[in-house]
Amino acid sequence: MKIESKSRNELKAYFRKNSIPTESNFADLINGMLNHKDDGIAKLPGNPLSIEADDSVQQKLINFYHDLEEEAPVWSLSLNPKSDPADASSDNNSGLSISDSLGNSHLFIESTTGNVGIGNITPKGKLDINGSLVFTGNSSTKISGASRGSRHALVLKGHWNELEIKGRVIDWTGTNLHIGYDNNHASHMIEMGRNVGHLRFMSGGGTTETMRVINGRVGIGTSNPMTTLHVGGSVKVDGFLNLSGQITQDNWKPASLINGWERYSTTFNSAGYFRDSFGIVHLKGMVKNGTG
């Protein structure tokens, strides 16, 4: 920035004893002073220092330099920054902006809403960050929404609402990690045990366990899976079921039968004869020719 005004020492030389200042000397003196009307800066009695923005599109207030001999300021304050200073047709937005030497806004406070934008001049909320947000240090970080009864709301929103978390959903208390929809651990939907090493999935507001993963085994309908997959209930398969390895089953028992099934023989034996409701006979054991 080029400064053409005279220094104080140069001005003092014009007005020494027995000197006769010229019109040019007085002009240098006047031009070296701030003028409220011409320079847009004023300090009236009872009022703080007031600064008027320049007549540029971005309405700049103050430029900050390391050295006034530099061509461009390091930082600037403006009242109407542009979204893209390199594009004259880009939009402006009214507010207080801290911009870099290229005019890019780094911190912006919108006039109409009071919203704060970091890296953008169109903040959509109280704080809108265009870029990464990093928390470091040992102190805890807490984000809390407005209280609604005993709950606190926190919403993480993706582009198509693909992620929405409400309430105290994740809580590491004691030995377990709880993921649910309420402050009450009894209402958790997923629980991960730190000491036991299990992963539980719940339904019914956390009252019914539907699946558990523990010791490399998956239990559905049972909390103590005895095999790699242990189903405590009926299994329905639509389509082909491909199995490899051995298939084991419990010994047949003359228990009460359902779905119209009946025991075909008059006495129970290890072979086990059954007939279903469609009249199809099912045999357990080997069938071979014989007499008798």
pLDDT at 162 over 70: no
Locate 34 and state its tokens. Answer: 């701030």
H-assigned helices in 130-198: none
pLDDT at 171 over 70: no
pLDDT tens digit string along 20-47? Answer: 999 999 999 998 888 888 888 888 899 9
**What does the pLDDT read at residue 266?**
47
Statement to judge: residues 42 and 13 lie in one domain = yes
Quote the number of domains for the chain.
4
Statement to judge: residues 34 and 61 lie in one domain = no
Statement to judge: residues 58 and 123 lie in one domain = yes
Statement to judge: residues 31 and 76 lie in one domain = no
pLDDT tens digit string along 59-69? Answer: 999 999 999 88
Statement to judge: residues 79 and 102 lie in one domain = yes
Whether residue 145 lies inside any domain: the answer is no
Higher pLDDT, 178 or 260: 178
Statement to judge: residues 182 and 126 lie in one domain = no
Statement to judge: residues 44 and 59 lie in one domain = no
Whether residue 118 lies inside any domain: the answer is yes
Beta bridge partners of 211: 201, 220
Highest mean pLDDT among 49-63, 149-163, 173-187: 49-63
- Would you say 90 and 82 are in contact if contact means Cβ atoms under 8 Å apart? yes
The Cα 18–Cα 146 span in angstroms is: 75
- Would you say 63 and 76 are in contact if contact means Cβ atoms under 8 Å apart? yes
Whether residue 139 lies inside any domain: the answer is no
The Cα 127–Cα 157 span in angstroms is: 14
Phi-psi region of 124 (alpha: psi -120 to 50; beta: other; left: phi over 0): alpha
Q: Which of 130, 150, 176 is the last residue of a domain?
A: 130
Highest mean pLDDT among 94-98, 144-148, 204-208: 94-98
Statement to judge: residues 16 and 33 lie in one domain = yes
Locate 229 and state its tokens. Answer: 């997959």
Whether residue 186 lies inside any domain: the answer is yes
- Which residue spans within 81-175 are E strands per DSSP? 95-99, 105-110, 116-118, 127-129, 147-148, 151-152, 170-173
- Which residue spans within 120-258 are E strands per DSSP? 127-129, 147-148, 151-152, 170-173, 176-180, 188-193, 198-203, 208-214, 217-220, 229-231
Whether residue 147 lies inside any domain: the answer is no
Domain of residue 196: give its range. Answer: 167-241
The Cα 181–Cα 174 span in angstroms is: 19
Whether residue 152 lies inside any domain: the answer is no
Whether residue 156 lies inside any domain: the answer is no
Highest mean pLDDT among 78-92, 126-140, 148-162, 253-267: 78-92
Whether residue 203 lies inside any domain: the answer is yes
Q: Which of 16, 31, 50 is the last residue of a domain?
A: 50
Locate 9 and state its tokens. Answer: 């020492």
Locate 233 and state its tokens. Answer: 């209930």
Statement to judge: residues 186 and 205 lie in one domain = yes
pLDDT tier at 255, thresholds 50, 70, 90: very low
